[in-house]
Amino acid sequence: MDKKKAIEVCEMIANDQKNDVEQFEGKPFNGRTVAEYFGSQGAAIAALANIVKQLIENEEFNDMRISKLNNEVGRRINGALL
């Protein structure tokens, strides 16, 4: 999944969750409502988990993250020494 698609999926999940809040507000707390709500939550979690998994598997992402961490550690060490 490319960066643009991941952003689109995140935006879609955010919109879906907002809509779910509006849709389920005031509904009776019964088995059907709970099942529908949990189904929606499960789908959102699965989509986010897929994005995270692909980010972790992306070697370029990992190299970039490691580089940023190294730079941050260097800045903090240099700042402490000053």
pLDDT band at 31 (very low <50, low <70, confident <90, very high): very high
Domain boundaries, given as residue ranges, for the chain: 3-81
CA dihedral 4, 5, 7, 10 (to 10 degrees): 180
- What are the distances in angstroms from CA 82 to CA 36, 68, 72, 78? 57, 21, 15, 6
Enter the DSSP assignment of 25: T
pTM, two decimals, is 0.59
Instruction: Kindly report, residue by residue over 32-77, the tens digit of the pLDDT.
Output: 988 988 888 888 899 888 888 887 887 766 666 667 777 777 777 7
